[in-house]
Structure 1
Amino acid sequence: MAMMRLRREDPRVVGSFRLHRRLGAGGMGVVYLGSDRRGQRVALKVIRPDLAEDQEFRSRFAREVSAARRIRGGCTARLVAADLEADRPWFATQYVPGPSLHAKVNESGPLPAAQVASIGAALAEGLVAVHEAGVVHRDLKPSNILLSPKGPRIIDFGIAWATGASTLTHVGTAVGSPGFLSPEQVRGAAVTPATDVFALGATLAYAATADSPFGQGSSEVMLYRVVHEEPHLAGVHAALAPLIRACLVKAPEDRPSTLQLSLRLKEIAAREARGLPDGGAEGSVSTGGARAHGGAGRTAPGQRQGQSRRPQEYAQQRTQREDVRGMERESPTGGRGSAPRASAPRASAPRAPREGHQEGARTGSQRPAARRTPAPRTGAGASRGGGRPGGPSPAARRRRLLRQRLIVFVIVTLLVALGIAAAQGCQGPSHGLGDVPARVSSAAAVTPQGP
């Protein structure tokens, strides 16, 4: 914030505060930078000498202090001290470092859409707290918004209107800044929270274009345009123009609420910060529907969509391989039923080189039968763990089945042979003793059987 040296007519001490610099001057008085004995810096506003004798301005100044005391939250500068009975009434608020929105735009030009939306969301959220306290600011404009490191702050509640208070302006008299006044203020009608919504829309239009939405001109011309003409929003970003236009509707009841503005501006700020278009990203912020409503042309959602499909494909392939292995365990000798399922992963899984599998088959076939038994499991596990999502090829699975059936056949044959030998061994002694003499002489074989 630009500071000026104190003038000769400026006081040096007000209350318990020492004044150091001028921060600015308004219609009601001068704002100074001061500090207390502890070194706390404050913005101290002193009413002008020519207005100090006017009871209407004293009442208005008292209203500003009362409004500042009622508002809670970080949207405004905290009230520190006040003296409404002094010869020149004053009050001090917490000093907010940072330029005004007017000075920022005047120095740097129009702000980016993301920054405008972010500032607007914070201001709308601050106005929610102001209106919940029963206060209407009535003079919201770029010069009354300070851009502090912790966010924008609303200042200068000099003409604020509180619920239950009588108006201090005469019918048909507009108090405020032309170009940011609402139509009902120009007509002298009752003010409502929608009055601040209109001023917020004009303020955001100024931040986006560095100009009032009703152009430039004398106060009479500006007030006429506010009441009878539509705002010019040609330079406003496409994502912000519809919302700002809704704020600048002539009828107060047709304007959005401050809560709706805060939520919508937060969505726009988040989308613009990520560089997303205005089309389908609205659903991604509110309902997460951007992925379903077309990620075409957007790199980040497309990547997330591909990443979400890949685990599902892998899971489906693993399920198919488990089905094949289950059929192999249930019917080790019936290979016809497993053929259709074994061929299912062929379309979705990448095919492994044939040479490697044939080499593994030849190497496994040269091993002894005793060591050949675990070979299919090891080979299958190695091929599945080699980083290929599709697993072994159908030819490798058929060779593995043939080896398993051969092993089962050999084992069953050996078991049958051993069983026959065991059975013959149990019956052999009686027949064997009779057969040995038969081979020696036929006479000895006939002799024992005679009686």
Structure 2
Amino acid sequence: MARQMDRAAGMDMAMMRLRREDPRVVGSFRLHRRLGAGGMGVVYLGSDRRGQRVALKVIRPDLAEDQEFRSRFAREVSAARRIRGGCTARLVAADLEAERPWFATQYVPGPSLHDKVAEEGPLSAADVAAVGAALSEGLVAVHEAGVVHRDLKPSNILLSPKGPRIIDFGIAWATGASTLTHVGTAVGSPGFLAPEQVRGAAVTPATDVFALGATLAYAATQDSPFGHGSSEVMLYRVVHEEPQLQGVPDALAPLVRACLAKDPEERPSTLQLSLRLKEIAAREAQGMGDVRPPAPRTDPDRPTGRLAEQRTQRRPQGTPPPRTGGTNGGTRPGARPAPARNTGRTGNRPAPRSGTGRSAPRTTGTGRRPANPRLLRQRLFVFVVVTLLVALGIAAAQGCQGPARGLHHGGAGQDVRQVRTYEPLPTERLSTER
């Protein structure tokens, strides 16, 4: 990734070679290519004697003659020296007393956020949240140093291989065609200015929060939340109209709208933004990773796939394999699963899930699930044998009592009574003989 970014930067630098009027050496840095030009001056790619690359900005000659500009430039450079943090382009050197003042910052390879979105389209919700979280964390360090950026916008954010970096910390107040300059007021870019900047009020860290909200809206929609038009039209919309956030993902829209509140007191702090955007980035990234096609419905009591193969390999010798709906040991898609036989064996049932997502531990023979299926089968066999023996014993006892009762109460008993009825008594025989 880093090599690709360096290669791309090298191609851009090859198209912007030094001109005749450009200096070749500034301070202890040798200049190699033009990186760009703005309202304040020209930015060059330079390097020191150790080979460290820097982005060196040289102030325009007409601004160098303005003492008010020099004083303000000196204050901004002094404040920029105090900034510490990984999301900023670190200030390396500066010369405020030179004929043309200059300052050098750490060179950051990679395109700007503006160019990235313009060439490849809007970023995803997860990427927008991740970039916003890193920028918010960088602004925390900036504001702790007592600095307000005042001109945070997509073109002042570089996407390096190590993450986004913020450049031009409130120094580029002199303007070109796309920025505003008013004596005694802070300046910025139309569409990313906060309402208090337009009114000429004092700027605070909340001013950068407004600009960050507009920047995130651009990254998500490839458009400014206040549309397009002349500077006057854009400034009027910033002060009097609500931002247009159509196209901003639902996960980000409420937070972006809060950043664009007209009242600075109603905007979230940079620390709150950093924490909230980190949560959104993690949730959106996880949601993208969890998008999977639905699995075919199978019997919940019968494992399939790799789990079934593992249990098949662990099956004791002599145990017949479980019946399945297919011919390859799995469940045939679309086939109705066969009902499970009630054999008392529970070893093939998946372990119940607990509230934490972990499998519940298996119970022993005294619980609901025996730990040893073979022991269960032995007990079942003994139970069946004992039951049969008891049943046979009862049946034999009943068979022995049945014939005895039959001699007295059955059909044979009636014949006996009849014989007794017609058999003459001894006295009757004697009278008859007489």
TM-score (ref. length: structure 1):
0.64
Paired AA for residue 141 in structure 2: A
Rounded to whole Å, the distance in 2 between the matches of 1:400 and 1:78 is 87
Asked if 1:398 corresponds to 2:387, the answer is no
Letter of the 1:398 partner, please give it. F
Aligned counterpart, 1:416: none
Match of 2:374 among 373, 380, 383: 383
Q: Mark the CA change 1:79 to 1:307 in structure 2 (over 3 Å): closer, same or farther.
A: same
**Alignment-mate amino acid for residue 135 of structure 1:** V
Q: Secondary structure of the residue that 1:322 maps to in structure 2?
A: coil
1:39 to 12, 28, 51: 51
Give the conservation status (yes or no) of the 8 Å contact 2:354–2:360. Answer: no
Distance in 2, matches of 1:65 and 1:312, equals 60
Give the residue type in structure 2 aligned to 1:142: P
1:67 Cα deviation from its structure 2 partner:
2.2
Q: Structure 1 CA distance, aligned partners of 2:210 and 2:64?
A: 31
Equivalent residue pairs, number: 313
Any conservation in 2 of the 1:42–1:95 contact (CA below 8 Å)? yes
Match of 1:230 in 2: 242
Q: Distance in 2 between matches of 1:394 and 1:276?
A: 51
- Distance (whole Å) between structure 2 residues aligned to residue 149 and residue 314 of structure 1: 46
Aligned-residue offset at 1:143? 0.6
Unaligned runs of at least 5 residues, structure 2 = 1-8, 174-180, 301-350, 389-434
Which letter maps to 2:119? Answer: E
1:322 to 366, 380, 390: 366
| Map 1:23-34 → 2, pairs under 5 A | 23-34=35-46
Indicate whether 1:205 and 2:217 are aligned.
yes
Match of 1:369 in 2: none
Residues 165-180 of structure 1 mapped to structure 2, 5 A cutoff: 170=183, 173=185, 175-180=187-192
Cα drift, residue 16 of structure 1: 1.0
Within 5 Å, give how 1:149-188 maps onto structure 2.
Answer: 149-159=161-171, 170=183, 173=185, 175-188=187-200
Residue 217 of structure 1: CA displacement?
0.4
Is 2:75 aligned against 1:90? no
In the alignment, the residues of structure 2 paired with residue 109 and residue 311 of structure 1 have an alpha-carbon distance, to the nearest angstrom, of 42
Q: What are the Cα deviations for residues 308-348 of structure 1, in whole angstroms up to 9, with x where unaligned?
A: 46976654xx26x326xxxxxxxxxxxxxxxxxxxxx4xxx
Post-superposition shift, 1:401?
A: 8.2
Distance 2:33 2:359 in 1: 67
Residues 10, 265 of structure 1: CA spacing in aligned structure 2 closer, same or farther, 3 A cutoff?
Answer: same
Structure with the higher fraction of residues in helix conformation:
1
Give the aligned partner of residue 128 of structure 2.
116
1:80 match: 92
Kept after mapping to 2: 8 A contact 1:100/1:144: yes
Which residue in 1 is equivalent to 2:150?
138
- Provide, for residues 193-214 of structure 1, a one-character-per-residue CA deviation record: whole Å limited to 9, x for no partner: 1110000000000111111100
Q: What does residue 189 of structure 1 align with?
A: 201
Letter matched to residue 156 of structure 1: D
Offset from partner CA, 1:354-413 (integer Å, 9 cap, x none): xxxxxxxxxxxxxxxxxxxxxxxxxx94625xxxxxx5597446359889xxxxxxxxxx
**Residues in 2 aligned to 1:67 and 1:6: alpha-carbon distance in whole angstroms:** 31
1:67–1:160 Cα contact (<8 Å) kept: no
Note closer, same or farther for the CA distance 1:392–1:13 as it changes in structure 2 (3 Å cut).
same
CA offsets per residue over residues 203-241 of structure 1, 9 Å max, x none?
A: 000111111100000000000000000001101111111
Aligned counterpart for 2:76 among listed residues 59, 64, 69 = 64
Residues 248 and 394 (structure 1), Cα distance of their counterparts in 2 relative to 1, 3 Å cut: farther
Contact 1:61–1:158 (CA<8 Å) still a contact in 2? no
2:276 alignment partner, SS class: helix
After superposition, give the CA deviation of every residue in 1:31-63 in whole Å (9 maximum; x if it has no partner).
Answer: 100011111111001100111000122123213
Distance 2:378 2:200 in 1: 84
Code of the residue aligned with 2:188 in structure 1: it is G
Deviations 1:100-123 (A, max 9, x none): 111111111111111111100000
Q: For residues 115 and 311 of structure 1, do their structure 2 counterparts lie closer, same or farther at Cα, with a shift above 3 Å needed?
A: closer
Q: Which amino acid aligns with 1:275?
A: G
Contact 2:122/2:220 (8 A) holds in 1: yes
Output the amino acid matched with 1:264.
R
Match of 2:316 in 1: none
Q: Secondary structure at the match of 1:186?
A: helix
The aligned amino acid for 2:383 is R
* Counterpart Cα distance in 1 of 2:386 and 2:75: 92
1:176 match: secondary structure:
coil
Contact 1:276 1:298 (C-alpha < 8 Å) held by counterparts: no
Q: Please give the secondary structure, in 1, of the residue aligned with 2:65.
A: coil
Equivalent pair of 2:134/2:274 in contact (CA under 8 Å): yes
Q: Match for residue 335 of structure 1?
A: none
Q: Distance in 2 between matches of 1:66 and 1:298?
A: 59
Cα distance, 1:110–1:306 mapped onto 2, change above 3 Å = farther
Give the 3 Å change call, closer, same or farther, for CA 245–381 of structure 1 in structure 2: closer
* Cα 1:30–1:308 shift into 2, 3 Å: same
Give the TM-score normalised by structure 2: 0.66
The residue matched to 1:32 in structure 2 has which SS? strand
Residue 192 of structure 1: how far off its partner (Å): 0.8
Q: In structure 2, which of residues 210, 235, 260 is the aligned counterpart of residue 248 of structure 1?
A: 260
Distance 2:33 2:285 in 1: 38
The answer on whether the counterparts of 1:135 and 1:160 sit within 8 Å (CA) in structure 2 is no
